[in-house]
Chains A and B, each alone.
Chain A
């Protein structure tokens, strides 16, 4: 009798626990999903909700850059290409300031080394593009004189990421033509 009773009890227990398990999962079918539908149906762009100190792609504000080259020297993987030339008429000129977003490992050493805060992490992180060469972002269009170390009055701070956004290629842009001024094929 004991064996039969335990046999029947185990059937009853399994049926009840099974039904309750089904009730739990069914209750989830009646709840709203928690998914945030990144990228196109988030309540606000994800970039805006990131923590203050999150490290996105690097950007350079050339109104602050003195062309000292500290960032270039400290970068452990050489993702920064900085070229300063001496011109007879105009003195020192920053001819090239490229950052390879594909190589950058977001260590932040360049940001620490920069004496004027010209290079900084933006919150941008969506850099998908059809050609890897497009990930080399040039910040200098034409040779320009470097900024003074102390400026009076200091230039107005630019909104985070604005400089970079203006220069990032779109996902379907053709590869950027590499001009001789920018030192040829940087990605190679």
Chain B
């Protein structure tokens, strides 16, 4: 972006004041662009979330507004803006009004350092990863403010839970990120991506077994930091009504909502940059990609595909797992994730000392880890096939057991119930 500003300034022969103005305009323009992109992504994620939730539960999900219900998120957004904005009488008004902005600020500022392509990035900070870890902590402040200002015990409990959770899970997330930073030797997200390659065995996730574990640790910790199910204790509806955003309505609730969903994309994009090779295309060097607009777009597409695949995983995880208990949540963090993260950090450091980068042993390690990951995916696909074959491609909810003629058919019931019982015995 700075190069672009310099080039334009030279082209128009601007004085120093003109240059400053141009730079300011460029910053505002990029900020607006990133904000709009982030909002759009957050909206689209809500649609994907509801479609995936539907299909997981043998439903269809939104299907009325636009093709496949795709415009549902726009309709929801309009609804949210038009709704009444209620502030409780006993609430701390300024804090209550401010809290959603703190949450949104924490999430959307993080988009500044998240790349979309090799040149498509708000600002490639040299402390990128640290900036991300720091700025996303603002979310805690917003959530605590919301919990406190609502003057409601459930909200306050939700806010405090959220603070405890985010502060705890910063540790394994930070340690897992350090594993990558060790290998890349830089904190800048673009440098970290450049240190990887296009092919899977050149990604950091498959560099050695410790990195593979670190990827899952980071992913788990990031999901927990984003207050997503199964770690959504701060807004556990069965215990705390809706946690810190119980008293919020209208567009202020929308602020929390969009922040949460933008955070889902954010954590996926960060995981993609750190572990999955970002915008790297196999066989294309980063320098070549920077020169060609077409390769730029291809890099954007690659990044987009990886990040949205991870978004899907986050959503899929949510509709699979039940919520953890508070003590289990803390136990998972302090008894499992943090020790494992330390082991990974030490293991990767040892391997960095023992194995020369680029040597045959290094390649063997990478290929071996990739094979391990591939075998895991294959085993997973086999299990999916097993589950489909066991139940068939359609769940029968026909409680009346009506056959083709629309009346009760005992033979059909016996057949179906027998199939179900056989399935039970197989297990």
A residues in contact (CB < 8 Å) with B: 11, 18-35, 37, 49
Given A25-B320, A26-B316, A31-B394: A37 and B63 within 8 A (CB)? yes
Contact status B58-A35, CB under 8 Å: yes
Q: How far is the CB of B17 from chain A (nearest CB, A)?
A: 57
State in angstroms the CA–CA spacing of A32 and B392 once bound together: 10
Contact pick for A33, options B59, B316, B320, B386, CB 8 Å: B59
Given A21-B320, A49-B406: A34 and B384 within 8 A (CB)? no
Dominant secondary structure of chain A at its interface with chain B: helix
B residues in contact (CB < 8 Å) with A: 52, 54-60, 63, 316-317, 319-321, 336, 340, 380, 383-384, 386-388, 391-397, 406
State in angstroms the CA–CA spacing of A66 and B263 once bound together: 71
Chain A residue, CB-CB nearest to B220: A18
Contact status B380-A29, CB under 8 Å: no
Contact status A29-B383, CB under 8 Å: no
Contact status A28-B380, CB under 8 Å: no
Looking at B52, B59, B383, which has the most chain A CB atoms within 10 Å of its CB?
A: B383
State in angstroms the CA–CA spacing of A166 and B391 once bound together: 46
Contact status A23-B380, CB under 8 Å: yes
Q: How far is the CB of A134 from chain B (nearest CB, A)?
A: 26
Contact pick for A31, options B58, B319, B320, B386, CB 8 Å: B58
State in angstroms the CA–CA spacing of A104 and B334 once bound together: 62
Contact status B319-A34, CB under 8 Å: no
Count of A-B residue pairs with CB < 8 Å: 69
By Cβ-Cβ distance, the 5 closest A-B pairs, closest first, are A23-B383, A27-B387, A25-B320, A27-B388, A35-B60
Q: How far is the CB of A65 from chain B (nearest CB, A)?
A: 32
B387 contacts across to A, CB distance below 8 A: 23-24, 27
Given A28-B57, A31-B393, 7 more pairs with CB closer than 8 A: A19-B380, A26-B316, A27-B391, A28-B55, A28-B56, A29-B55, A34-B395
29 contacts between A and B (CB under 8 A): A20-B383, A21-B321, A22-B316, A22-B320, A23-B384, A23-B386, A23-B387, A25-B316, A25-B320, A27-B388, A28-B56, A28-B395, A29-B316, A30-B388, A31-B55, A31-B58, A31-B394, A31-B395, A32-B394, A33-B55, A33-B60, A34-B58, A34-B394, A34-B395, A34-B397, A35-B54, A35-B60, A37-B60, A37-B63
Contact status B63-A30, CB under 8 Å: no
State in angstroms the CA–CA spacing of A49 and B405 once bound together: 10
State in angstroms the CA–CA spacing of A27 and B393 once bound together: 9
Chain B residue, CB-CB nearest to A32: B394
State in angstroms the CA–CA spacing of A49 and B57 once bound together: 25
B57 contacts across to A, CB distance below 8 A: 28
Q: How far is the CB of B6 from chain A (nearest CB, A)?
A: 49
A18 contacts across to B, CB distance below 8 A: 321
Given A31-B394, A33-B59, A33-B60: A26 and B384 within 8 A (CB)? yes
State in angstroms the CA–CA spacing of A70 and B36 once bound together: 68
Contact status B319-A25, CB under 8 Å: yes
Chain A residue, CB-CB nearest to B216: A15
Contact status B393-A33, CB under 8 Å: no
Q: How far is the CB of B204 from chain A (nearest CB, A)?
A: 21
Contact pick for A29, options B52, B317, B391, B392, CB 8 Å: B52
